[in-house]
């Protein structure tokens, strides 16, 4: 089976699906290939911050300008994935007031609106803030649901003729002199292999960029930086809270739905899949973020996780935080003489659309066609369908029907019917695919109960046979990576419960 | 001032070890009070009585799907036995030879293990004392002379030792014998999940439209006590059975009189019925709890459930009293002797903060790994148990807490149950055995019946 398309996009993160959508709206067909599920990389492993650009205003004005402009666009086209919380940059007594003034000037220069708040005003807005703070600058930060954002882009792209192929890896290229004629793809679930012919290829693999480029014997200077984040059991803040000082560890708290996300660290990593979080990183993040919100000390953490940022270096610099968080678009024709390959990497979640626009522009230029981008104008399909408060309240008060109404996940109140609907609608290949598309396993117990139930439902629907205990064990190993670093207090109690069930009662 | 009530013995903790200690002391004619915050892990996890699941199986039992039917060993079902007379595999003493030999070897290999401090003879006495609380018709049985395998809610076969009669028909199943039955709308048991792993047939019954409530384990167990409900369920199963001789249901065949629920279902269906342990809460555990409670109250033991001890008053090497302050109850109690049986983390017997593990009532030293980095292994299902599970209270051979030099810290406080150091009951499958044996032994020691 050979497949023909116009553009082959590799990588199912925000950038990849953004390009697929952008091209599809310009009428250019594409196929997107992802070796895991959508959002498996940094797009699903970040703190869900809709940057105002404030964080980069002083250090990287260009990135800051991109952020504020995209921030405004996303609030229009993806309002259902965004909570417009605003963000606060707080100065504590040990922080320099000079930096705050520089920050205010830099925001003004980069077009980021600011409001300076007094201590009283700030505490009235956010009662959990450290009462010793000196002053607060308000900026238009927000919270974004990256999973929904990526899925929505993919849905819209497919509606307009693109195709996403998941759990499939590009294993080699057919190269003819200065051109890639085709890519050999392998389905990682059933082992099937086939050729994809495409006149243009886009490498949107993020941190995996060099692994992919290796297939074409190419290499770019990419620094991998591991960022660690913690999730609290409850939401502690209404607005994004940043420390008003040069970027460092533990300087941000992002509210997200019912939780807060504490971030982050920046540690150079050699490995692209190094997601381990150590207890000392956890302690550091708690200590630092508790300076801004003291209640963090003593708040239950439900999970730790890490993501790998791909940072493009045009020249050697020591400190990762000084490398631009702006993105890089590489035309390998110009750089390496390989006509039809483009790499897009670096950047931020909030600039994914701009990255997709620039990449698509370059493809159009190479094709010699002139179709303008429209993704900044056309809202994502779900914008008008998002559940209103009324519907959400109805769901909470929903009378439980005997069959199908049972709550599979007691933490996030997910009914069996909802899960069954999803299973019918989308072709899902593994457990993580389901988890990326629901709130299952995202609550306090982190799937301690609902995953067993989910597998039970899959058996009921005849979608699963014997392997379920292997899958169940695999899930608990994966879950372990996130909770092992935060096990003390109540979390440790719950862990004893989970272990007693699965190793004890079920003897897995 | 609140009035201080004085007892011979105060037991703190209402899990299986505390209950066992209370029974032992009550039998010795002591004035006993048992104070419990909750019902202990008994009602969460204890479906059967594990003694040492790690023992090699003494009776060869193949996993289900390999069962060929040519095995000459006696299997249940081949010779149907009338209710209450499970003769096969029954042994005269409380421990079969396989378990007895296995335990002896285990104690030799693990001299610090709580079992080694109790000793084989006392373990036997303790288990006998447990089983004597459950005369037929709802009795606990062994199958073979070592562990038996019972099916679980994940379709695995799990080794355990004493099982209630409601689970006996689930041992040594052949795949063509078994039908697994679940209920639509009940989220903690999935018949097809279990059946697919065991390579047998599963069915999921619809419950009447009348059930608009969420269906929980406890609610179903209560419904099972109703004759009309049992009849509906029994008939529905009979309609769908294709000659299977044994029918497995989740372990919720009534909180009370479950032997009767089982018997009546069997009469309607015409096949043997057995219970399968699944997610908490555990109804079989609740039955054990209720039996102890009933027995202890009958014997005049003061049963204070739902109250936690907030503080102990110490003077020198002695405990002089404990305060219970769970609004609206604020009381002080004193006794000559005390038993601490507060369990591990779930029960609150041990508490962990970001740096260390401590014991909150007497502030007894907790032996534990050096730092939090070492509490857990990198793999959840590591072959070796997580080091944090070995943490606990060190005691001398009479179950009194000691410091690292071996000095007894409190002369009138004994420690029992899972809070003890140097076991990992989940991996060993020894939870109930340790609780029964150490609860019994701590009480005996406290009463000076042994060696004192």
Nearest to B161 by CA among B95, B225, B104, B223: B95
Looking at the complex, report in whole angstroms how far the Cα of residue A361 sits from the nearest Cα belonging to chain B: 46
- Is residue B59 pLDDT above 80, yes or no? no
pLDDT band for A396, please (50, 70, 90 cuts): low
Q: Which of A469, A477, A497 sits opposite B154 (nearest CB)?
A: A469
- Is residue A426 pLDDT above 80, yes or no? no
- Residue B272: φ, ψ to 5°: -70, 150
Report yes or no: B188 and B281 within 8 Å, Cβ to Cβ.
Answer: no
pLDDT confidence of residue A443: 87
pLDDT band for A367, please (50, 70, 90 cuts): very high
Interface contact flag, B190 A506, Cβ < 8 Å: no
Average pLDDT over residues B411-431: 96
Give residue for tokens 């519907």.
A391
Q: What is the pTM of this model?
A: 0.89
Task: Report pLDDT digits (tens) over A13-39.
Answer: 999 999 999 999 999 999 999 999 999
A&B contacts, CB < 8 Å? 151
Average pLDDT over residues B226-242: 94
pLDDT confidence of residue B450: 58
Looking at the complex, report in whole angstroms how far the Cα of residue B450 sits from the nearest Cα belonging to chain A: 33
CA distance A472 to A59: 46
pLDDT confidence of residue B61: 41
pLDDT confidence of residue B212: 57
Q: Which tokens belong to B450?
A: 């042994």
pLDDT confidence of residue B54: 82
CATH 3.40.50.300 fits B4-46+301-446, yes or no: no
Report yes or no: B104 and B116 within 8 Å, Cβ to Cβ.
Answer: no
Looking at the complex, report in whole angstroms how far the Cα of residue B199 sits from the nearest Cα belonging to chain A: 8
Report yes or no: B387 and B376 within 8 Å, Cβ to Cβ.
Answer: yes
Interface contact flag, B45 A399, Cβ < 8 Å: no
- Is residue A403 pLDDT above 70, yes or no? no
Looking at the complex, report in whole angstroms how far the Cα of residue A127 sits from the nearest Cα belonging to chain B: 25
Domain positions in chain B are 4-46+301-446, 61-281
Q: Across chain B, what does the average pLDDT equal?
A: 89
> Could you tell me if B183 lies within 8 Å of chain A, comparing CB atoms?
no
Interface contact flag, A456 B187, Cβ < 8 Å: yes
Q: Which of A402, A487, A495 sits opposite B185 (nearest CB)?
A: A402
Task: Report pLDDT digits (tens) over A69-125.
Answer: 999 999 999 999 999 999 999 999 999 889 999 999 999 999 999 999 999 999 999
Report yes or no: B333 and B322 within 8 Å, Cβ to Cβ.
Answer: yes
E strand residue ranges, A146-282: 163-165, 168-176, 179-187, 193-197, 200-203, 222-232, 240-243, 252-256, 259-263, 267-268
Task: Report pLDDT digits (tens) over B70-108.
Answer: 333 333 333 333 333 333 344 335 677 888 989 999 999
Q: ipTM score here?
A: 0.91
- Is residue A215 pLDDT above 90, yes or no? yes
What percent of chain B shows pLDDT beyond 90? 79
Looking at the complex, report in whole angstroms how far the Cα of residue A411 sits from the nearest Cα belonging to chain B: 14
Interface contact flag, B45 A500, Cβ < 8 Å: yes
Interface contact flag, A457 B47, Cβ < 8 Å: no
Closest residue in B to A477 (Cα) is B380
> Could you tell me if B184 lies within 8 Å of chain A, comparing CB atoms?
yes
Report yes or no: A69 and A19 within 8 Å, Cβ to Cβ.
Answer: no
Interface contact flag, B215 A402, Cβ < 8 Å: yes
Give residue for tokens 């793999």.
B379
Q: Which comes out higher in pLDDT, residue B85 or B345? A: B345
pLDDT confidence of residue A415: 87
Task: Report pLDDT digits (tens) over B11-54.
Answer: 999 999 999 999 999 999 999 999 999 888 899 999 999 999 98
- Is residue B223 pLDDT above 90, yes or no? yes
Interface contact flag, A484 B376, Cβ < 8 Å: yes
Q: How far is CA A85 from CA A63, A70, A278, A401, B45, in A?
A: 21, 16, 31, 36, 44
> Could you tell me if B57 lies within 8 Å of chain A, comparing CB atoms?
no
Closest residue in A to B356 (Cα) is A488
Closest residue in B to A475 (Cα) is B380
- Helix or strand or coil: residue B222? helix
Q: How far is CA B264 from CA B77, B165, B208, B235, in A?
A: 18, 14, 20, 11
Interface contact flag, A402 B209, Cβ < 8 Å: yes
Average pLDDT over residues B108-132: 96
Looking at the complex, report in whole angstroms how far the Cα of residue B409 sits from the nearest Cα belonging to chain A: 26
Give the CA angle between residues B307, A446, A208 to the nearest 5°: 155
> Could you tell me if B427 lies within 8 Å of chain A, comparing CB atoms?
yes
Q: How far is CA B193 from CA A380, A406, A457, A472, in A?
A: 39, 17, 8, 12
Quickly list H helices, B52-119.
97-109, 114-118
Provide the Cα torsion B295, B300, B305, B308; round to 10°: -130
CA distance A51 to A349: 9
- Is residue B158 pLDDT above 70, yes or no? yes
- Going B129 to B134 to B136 to B141, the CA torsion angle's sign is negative
> Could you tell me if B209 lies within 8 Å of chain A, comparing CB atoms?
yes
Closest residue in B to A403 (Cα) is B185
Helix axes B120-132, B97-109, angle to 10 degrees: 130
pLDDT confidence of residue B73: 37
> Could you tell me if B175 lies within 8 Å of chain A, comparing CB atoms?
no
Nearest to A366 by CA among A10, A15, A28: A28
- Is residue B214 pLDDT above 90, yes or no? no
Tell me which chain A residues have a C-beta less than 8 angstroms from the C-beta of B219: none
Task: Report pLDDT digits (tens) over A225-272.
Answer: 999 999 999 999 999 999 999 999 999 999 998 899 999 998 888 888
- Is residue A374 pLDDT above 90, yes or no? yes
């Amino acid at each position: 089976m050979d497949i023909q398309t116009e553009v082959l996009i590799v990588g199912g993160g925000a950038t990849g699906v953004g390009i697929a959508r952008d091209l599809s709206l310009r009428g250019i067909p594409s196929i997107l290939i992802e070796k895991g599920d959508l959002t498996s990389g940094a797009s699903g492993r970040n703190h869900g911050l809709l940057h105002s650009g404030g964080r980069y205003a002083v250090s990287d004005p260009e990135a800051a300008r991109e952020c504020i402009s995209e921030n405004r666009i996303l609030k229009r086209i993806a309002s259902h994935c965004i909570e417009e919380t605003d963000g606060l940059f707080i100065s504590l007594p040990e922080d320099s007031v000079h930096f705050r003034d520089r920050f205010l000037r830099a925001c003004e220069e980069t077009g980021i609106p600011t409001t300076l708040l007094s201590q009283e005003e700030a505490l009235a807005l956010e009662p959990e803030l450290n009462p010793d703070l000196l002053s607060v600058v308000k900026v238009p930060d927000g919270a974004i649901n990256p999973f929904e954002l990526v899925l929505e882009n993919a849905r819209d792209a497919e509606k307009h003729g693109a195709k996403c192929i998941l759990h499939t890896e590009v294993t080699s290229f057919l190269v003819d002199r200065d051109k890639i004629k085709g890519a050999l793809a392998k389905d990682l679930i059933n082992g099937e292999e086939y050729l994809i012919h495409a006149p243009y290829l886009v490498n949107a693999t993020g941190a995996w960029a060099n692994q992919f480029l290796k297939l074409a014997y190419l290499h770019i200077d990419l620094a991998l930086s591991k960022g660690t984040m913690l999730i609290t059991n409850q939401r502690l803040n209404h607005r994004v809270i940043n420390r008003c000082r040069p970027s460092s560890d533990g300087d941000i708290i992002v509210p997200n739905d019912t939780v807060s996300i504490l971030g982050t660290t920046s540690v150079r990593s050699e490995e692209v899949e190094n997601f381990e979080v150590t207890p000392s990183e956890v302690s550091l993040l708690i200590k630092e973020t508790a300076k801004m919100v003291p209640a963090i000390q003593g708040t239950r953490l439900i999970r730790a996780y890490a993501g790998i940022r791909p940072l493009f270096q045009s020249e050697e610099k020591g400190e990762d935080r000084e490398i631009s968080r702006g993105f890089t678009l590489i035309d390998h024709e110009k750089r390496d003489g390989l006509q039809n390959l483009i790499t897009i990497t670096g950047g931020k979640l909030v600039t994914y659309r701009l990255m997709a626009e620039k990449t698509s522009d370059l493809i159009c230029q190479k094709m010699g066609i002139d179709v303008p981008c429209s993704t900044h104008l056309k809202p994502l399909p779900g914008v008008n369908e998002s559940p209103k408060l009324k519907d959400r309240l109805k769901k909470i008060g929903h009378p439980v029907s005997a069959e199908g109404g049972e709550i599979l996940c007691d933490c996030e109140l997910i009914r069996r019917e909802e899960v069954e609907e999803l299973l019918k609608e989308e072709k899902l290949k593994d457990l993580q695919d389901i988890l990326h598309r629901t709130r299952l396993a995202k609550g306090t117990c982190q799937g301690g109960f609902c995953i067993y139930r989910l597998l039970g439902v899959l058996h009921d629907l005849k979608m699963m046979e014997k392997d379920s205990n292997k899958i169940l064990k695999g899930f608990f190993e994966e879950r372990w990576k996130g909770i092992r670093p935060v096990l003390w207090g109540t979390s440790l109690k719950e862990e004893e419960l989970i272990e007693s069930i699965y190793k004890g009662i079920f003897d897995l | 001032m609140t009035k201080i009530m004085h007892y011979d013995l105060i037991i703190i903790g209402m899990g299986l070890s505390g209950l066992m200690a209370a029974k032992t002391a009550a039998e010795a004619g002591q004035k006993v009070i048992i104070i419990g915050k909750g019902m202990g892990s008994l009602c969460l996890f204890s479906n059967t009585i594990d003694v040492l699941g790690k023992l090699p199986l003494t009776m060869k039992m193949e996993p289900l799907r390999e069962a060929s039917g040519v095995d000459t060993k006696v299997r249940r079902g081949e010779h149907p036995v009338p209710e209450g007379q499970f003769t096969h595999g029954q042994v005269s003493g409380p421990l079969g030879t396989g378990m007895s030999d296995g335990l002896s070897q285990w104690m030799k290999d693990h001299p610090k293990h709580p079992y080694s401090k109790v000793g084989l003879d006392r373990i036997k006495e303790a288990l006998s004392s447990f089983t004597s609380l459950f005369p037929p018709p709802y009795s606990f049985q062994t199958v073979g002379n070592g562990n038996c395998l019972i099916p679980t809610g994940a379709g695995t076969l799990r080794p355990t030792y004493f099982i209630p009669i409601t689970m006996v028909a689930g041992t040594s199943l052949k795949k063509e014998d078994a039908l697994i039955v679940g209920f639509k709308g009940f989220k903690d048991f999935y018949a097809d999940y279990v059946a697919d792993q065991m390579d047998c047939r599963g069915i999921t019954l619809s419950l009447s439209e009348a059930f608009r409530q969420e269906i929980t384990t406890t609610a179903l167990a209560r419904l099972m006590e109703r004759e009309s409900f049992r009849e509906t369920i029994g008939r529905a199963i009979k309609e769908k059975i294709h000659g299977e001789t044994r029918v497995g249901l989740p372990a919720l065949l009534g909180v009370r009189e479950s032997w009767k629920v089982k018997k009546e279902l069997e009469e309607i269906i015409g096949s043997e019925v057995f219970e399968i342990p699944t997610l908490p809460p555990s109804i079989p555990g609740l039955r054990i709890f209720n039996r102890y409670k009933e027995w202890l109250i009958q014997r005049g033991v003061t049963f204070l459930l739902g109250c936690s001890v907030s503080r102990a008053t110490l003077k020198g090497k002695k405990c002089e009293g404990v305060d219970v302050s769970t609004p609206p109850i604020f009381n002080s109690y004193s006794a000559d002797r005390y038993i601490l049986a507060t369990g591990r983390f779930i029960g609150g017997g041990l508490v962990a903060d970001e740096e260390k593990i401590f014991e909150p009532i007497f502030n007894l030293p907790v032996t534990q790994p050096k730092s939090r980095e070492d509490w857990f292994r990198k793999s959840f299902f590591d072959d070796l148990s997580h080091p944090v599970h070995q943490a606990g209270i060190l005691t001398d051979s009479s179950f009194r807490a000691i410091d690292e030099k071996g000095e007894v810290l409190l002369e009138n406080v004994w420690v029992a149950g899972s809070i003890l150091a140097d076991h990992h009951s989940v991996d060993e499958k020894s939870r109930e055995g340790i609780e029964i044996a150490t609860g019994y032994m701590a009480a005996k020691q406290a009463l000076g019946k042994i060696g004192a």
